[in-house]
Amino acid sequence: MIAVDDLVDLVRTYNPQCDEELLRAAYDYGRLMHEGQFRHSGELYFSHPVAVAAILAEQNLDDAAIVTALLHDTIEDTRASYLTVQKKFGTEIADLVDGVTKLTNLQLASSETKQAENFRKLFMAMSKDLRVILVKLADRLHNMRTIKAMRPEKQVQKARETMDIFAPLAGRMGMQWMREELEDLAFRVINPEARASIMRRFITLQRETGDVIERITRDMRLELKKAGITADVLGRAKKPYSIWRKMQEKEMGFSRLSDIYGFRVITATEADCYAVLGAIHQRWRAVPGRFKDYISQPKTNGYRSIHTTVSGRDGKRVEVQIRTRQMHDVAETGVAAHWSYRDGVRTQNPFAVDPAKWINSLTEQFDAEEDHQDFLEAVKLEMFSDQVFCFTPKGDVIKLPRGATPIDFAYAIHTRIGNAVVGAKIDGMRVPLWTRIKNGQSVEVIIADGQTPQSTWLDIATTGKARTAIRRALREVDRERYIKLGRELARAAFEHVGKRATDKALETAARTMRLSGKDALLARMGSAELTAREVLNAVYPDLTPSGGDEVGRDRAVIGLEPGQRFDRAGCCEPLPGERIVGITFRGQGVVVHAIDCETLTAYEDQPQRWLDLQWHAGTHAAVYSVSLDLTMSNDAGVLARVCTLIGERQANISDMKFVDRKPDFYRLLVELELRDAEQLHSIISALDAESHVAMVERHRDVARSAEKELSQSQEVAERPEH
């Protein structure tokens, strides 16, 4: 464990004016609070907060961030409280520690609705003080560095959460070094064989070709010296996960990858950056389409650099990043550069982004999202996408995520333009609306009066802003019709429980469901986005089965003897709402079949084993697995659309297996967890209506299940009676 003197000395190296007394007090208090606590590895628990503080000190962060790191687990894991931390260390640090504690309790990898709410809380915490996220990222980095002490299943869970959430978040904040290390540490857990394979190939490549990095670095330094440019040249091999991801995206083997080496040239001035670019392009051939100028068009997180890829020695491609020293500091620490200290004063780096402006730009579009799923989709599209820069005909720059189309471009300009788009030109050539925009292209959209968004645009658009606007417009087109239909559905549902669907009752339901008003509620009912049961439950939870009286599996079937256990037959996978019978197995309980199951013919001569059963009439929990046999076209976005259709009907996909892959179609088995037969019918109907789905039907493996049950029956028959 790092001693307090060593930690203070580390902070002093960049901040001689640091509050040494505050740092020592926090160190002593944290050690006292965590006394007697140990990590899974057997180390003192306090070694973890100290390591997190050291990670932040390496980024030259301020005293408050360092102290927060030392205390970040005290409120959650010790007898310390917000008030005691506030009294000892002030409101700023108490708020930061409390913010980290709340983030720790967020289950970001949970179910979609809860995940969306937790992402909202995550962005709220970020908007209050971004240092909360910086401490949390450092906390996750140290936990991943020491993850081997955890149980294997816990390692996998944490690694996936890191790969899905924390690594992209670090990248979105401009902390590329942390993103790469988090990805590599997670990759080591999730797919150790693949990582080891890449490392072995690196060693073999180095043995065959020698030290390529040293040779190219030497060549670059020589060229820059000839051009009279003073600059530092740094070279490295790309991280194993970066190479693995590229192999998967391009569907090629390691031997066919060319740009596995990266180089950075760090200069004194911006003018030198362009001089370096000229010298490199004069000496080596530039690879077309691999040039990005983030100096003239910076990323929203403050990142500035020139990227180019050239063919180096032996035709090998190498990526070169060219930036000034100040740009490099921001590239290393991203938004964290705002709190960096140097020689005792906060660094006035002109390229460091104001955190308040950055977080506002990130969250402003999410505030308009009413729907959980839409919000979650918008967050992930924004967080996990790289950017491309394109131009309007007037030369204005539009930033879009990679893979964006002219529809996204149109909505980025204005929602009115997006709604009216009928065509597009890229670099003067007419192109389909599904064309992917590339860096540096000029885009012109063609609009027409009377045009309205089409439902197929949802398969084309990639930005959260565009998809939200399209959904809103599609709802508005048939809004009046949906409202009228929704009112009839509400009237019938309320009368069924002896109530009236008054405006006041509908407004109450709308508030409970976080909708703008009764018209929005009725429109969603009419468009089948909400069920009458959900609306009733929002107003009268005691009158509907879903209001806390959900039927659990233990009382789902009526007709069993007290304590008698049942299993659903795997051959027919019966669902609540379907007619059922039971077949008894001595010592094994009851196997429940659908009344039309072919397997039942095997028990026709054993009537004493048949039970007349029925499902409980209430609302069942979504715990019943059903398999769908699905054939769909092999086009971009189709699988995502299928998953969205299933998710929109509140079903969970528990497994997915590809049975057949052809150039023009996929066939797969999708296992769902459902409530009842009505929900299954809704999903099949929605998928059947999707133009890219060629066939969808319920999958039943009669032979396998029959064989299993007959073997059970035989074993029971041969067992002697006592």
5 is catalytic: no
**Has residue 213 got a pLDDT over 60?**
yes
Mean pLDDT of 649-674: 83
pLDDT value, residue 719: 42
- pLDDT above 70 coverage of the chain, percent: 82
Least confident among 308-312, 443-447, 507-511: 308-312
Let me know: does 581 contact 557? Beta carbons within 8 Å.
no
For position 386, what pLDDT does the model report? 58
Q: Which helix (H) or strand (E) element contains residue 127?
A: helix 112-128
> Distance between CA atoms of 301 and 382, rounded to whole angstroms?
12
Range among 83-92, 548-557, 581-590, 704-713 with highest mean pLDDT value: 83-92
Q: Which residue has the tokens 């090998």?
A: 316
Reduced DSSP (H G I as helix, E B as strand, rest coil) percent helix, strand, coil of the chain, to 5: 50, 15, 30
| Pairing status of strand 566-568 against strand 589-594 | parallel
- At 439, the amino acid letter reads N
Q: Are 144 and 160 in contact (CB under 8 A)?
A: no
Mean pLDDT across 431-457: 86
Amino acid at 100: V
- 187: number of Cβ within 10 Å: 23
Number of Cβ within 10 Å of residue 236's Cβ equals 11
Q: Give 211's DSSP letter.
A: -
More confident residue, 155 or 106: 155
Residues 228, 230, 232, 235, Cα dihedral to 10°: -10
Q: So what's the pLDDT on residue 641? A: 83
The values of phi and psi at residue 362, to 5°, are -80, -30
Question: Would you state the pLDDT for residue 548?
Answer: 45
pLDDT for 25 beyond 90: yes
At 434, the amino acid letter reads W
Q: From residue 225, give the alpha-carbon distance in Å to each of 289, 382, 604, 643.
A: 28, 42, 92, 56
Is the pLDDT confidence value at 674 over 80?
yes
76 flagged as catalytic: yes
- Spatial CA neighbour of 1 closest among 68, 51, 54: 51
Residue 695 CB neighbours (<10 A): 12
Q: Which residues contact 271 (CB under 8 A, 6 or more apart)?
A: none
Reduced to 3 states (helix: H, G, I; strand: E, B; else coil), residue 461 is: coil
Residue 661 CA to residue 664 CA, distance in Å, equals 8
DSSP assignment letter at 613: E
**pLDDT of the residue at 41:** 83
Q: So what's the pLDDT on residue 122?
A: 63
**What mean pLDDT do residues 444-468 have?**
86
Where does residue 345 rank: exposed (0-12), middle (13-18), buried (19+ CB within 10 A)? exposed
More confident residue, 512 or 354: 512
Question: What is the predicted pLDDT for the residue at 66?
Answer: 93
**Per-residue pLDDT for 248 more than 80?**
no
Calculate mean pLDDT across residues 477-489: 79
Helix (H, G, I), strand (E, B) or coil at 682: helix
Q: pLDDT of 156-178, one tens digit each? A: 888 988 887 788 888 877 788 88
Confidence of residue 717 (pLDDT cuts 50, 70, 90): very low
Q: What is the C-alpha separation between 258 and 307, in angstroms, rounded?
A: 16
Q: Residue 67 is which amino acid? A: V
Instruction: State the Cα–Cα distance between residues 411 and 393, nearest whole angstrom.
Output: 16
Long-range contacts of residues 603-611, Cβ cutoff 8 Å, at least 24 apart: 609/583, 609/584, 609/585, 610/581, 610/582, 610/583, 611/559, 611/560, 611/581, 611/582, 611/583, 611/584
Tell me how far apart the alpha carbons of residues 287 and 268 are, in angstroms, rounded to a whole number. 26
Collapsing DSSP to helix, strand or coil, 189 comes out as helix
Confidence of residue 192 (pLDDT cuts 50, 70, 90): confident
The answer to whether residue 392 scores a pLDDT higher than 70 is yes
Query: Tokens at residue 360, please?
Result: 């506002």
**Mean pLDDT lowest for which of 331-335, 452-456, 627-631?**
331-335
| Pairwise pLDDT comparison (218 vs 663), residue with the higher score | 218
By percentage, how much of the chain surpasses pLDDT 90?
16
Contacts of 251 (CB under 8 A, 6+ apart): none
Buried b (16+ CB within 10 A) or exposed e, 93-106: bbbbbbbbbbbeeb
Task: Check whether 484 has a pLDDT greater than 90.
Answer: no
pLDDT at 139: 92
The span from the CA of 167 to the CA of 106, in Å, is 16
CA angle 46/47/53 to nearest 5° reads 95
What pLDDT, on the 0 to 100 scale, is given for residue 121?
A: 59
- 333: closest CA among 302, 377, 293? 302
pLDDT bin (cut points 50, 70, 90) of residue 714 is: very low
Evaluate if residue 547 carries a pLDDT over 50. no
CB 477 within 8 A of CB 470: no
Choose the catalytic residue: 77, 161, 319, 332: 77
Which of 300-314, 377-391, 540-554, 571-585 ranks highest by mean pLDDT?
Answer: 571-585
Q: Which amino acid is at 597?
A: C
Task: Kindly state the average pLDDT of the residues 335-363.
Answer: 67
In this structure, how many other beta carbons lie within 10 angstroms of the beta carbon of residue 17? 11
Residue, of 253 and 207, whose pLDDT is higher: 207
CA distance 327 to 306: 10
Choice among 20, 43, 76, 117 that is catalytic: 76
Q: Which amino acid is at 39?
A: R
- The confidence score (pLDDT) of residue 208 equals 65
Report pLDDT for 716.
42
First to last CA, the chain: 65
pLDDT digits over 83-128, tens only?
999 999 999 999 888 888 877 765 555 444 455 555 555 666 666 7
For residue 474, CA distances in Å to 370, 451, 470 come to 15, 12, 6
Mapped onto helix, strand or coil, the DSSP state of residue 158 is helix
pLDDT, tens digit, 9 for 90 and up, residues 2-19: 899 999 999 988 888 889
What is the structure's pLDDT at 210? 65
706: pLDDT confidence band, cut at 50, 70 and 90? very low
pTM score: 0.53
The DSSP output letter for 451 is: -
Strand runs (DSSP E) across 190-293, as ranges? Answer: 232-237, 261-267, 285-286, 292-293
Which residues on neighbouring strands pair with residue 657, listed in sequence order? 669
Tally the C-alpha atoms within 13 A of residue 75's C-alpha that lie toward its C-beta.
Answer: 22
Q: What is the pLDDT of residue 174?
A: 77
Q: What mean pLDDT do residues 607-623 have?
A: 80
Query: Which of 556, 561, 597, 598 has the alpha carbon at shortest distance from 577?
Result: 556
Q: Tell me: the pLDDT tens digits for 224-244? A: 999 899 999 988 877 888 878
pLDDT at 315 over 80: no
Average pLDDT of the chain? 80
Give the side-chain half-sphere CA count within 13 A for 417: 15
Mean pLDDT of 628-636: 85
Averaging pLDDT over each range in 255-264, 403-412, 704-713, which range is the top one?
403-412
One-letter amino acid identity for 11? V
CA dihedral 262, 265, 270, 273 (to 10 degrees): -80
